Amino acid sequence: MPLYEHVFLARQDLAQAQVDALAENATKILTDNGGKVVKTETWGLRSLAYRIAKNRKAHYVALDVDAPAAAIAELERQTGINEDIIRFLTIRVDEHEKGPSAMMRRQERDRGDRGDRGDRGPRGDRPERSFRREEEGAE
């Protein structure tokens, strides 16, 4: 069966439990039509680049899907009807990405260790400067 990635954006005023219910509903639609969801990722509440239907933020959810084209068509039909989903995109891929997606790796990196920054003293490649005015002849 062909492989797809399906990402949808849910309204910002939904609770996380409602967003999870939307993902489960999408999974049910696909399994009822002979497909399966390989991986589900919730990317969380993120800011949008521009307002969509009076929303400045949206809950992002990504699904890695292994399903026939008829199942994808039904998923897109149901998603388009749902008022809680403001945008969606389904693309066909040659293979699914192993491990976490780029968005999940980015979130881990943003929250993770900042690395070794040393003693936070003056940098060795620049001379140390004083920002105080010299009092000699300043009057």
pLDDT tens digits along 50-67: 999 999 999 999 999 999
Q: What is the largest CA-CA distance in the chain?
A: 86
The token duo for 114 is 């900042």
Looking at the DSSP bridge assignments, the partners of residue 44 are: 60
pLDDT band at 105 (very low <50, low <70, confident <90, very high): confident
State the Cα–Cα distance between residues 65 and 14, nearest whole angstrom.
24
Query: Is the sign of the CA dihedral 122, 123, 124, 127 positive or negative?
Result: negative
Q: Which helix (H) or strand (E) holds 42?
A: strand 36-52
CA-based nearest residue to 4, from 114, 58, 79, 55 = 79
75 or 109: which carries more pLDDT confidence?
75
Q: Give the pLDDT confidence score for residue 121 in this predicted structure.
A: 60
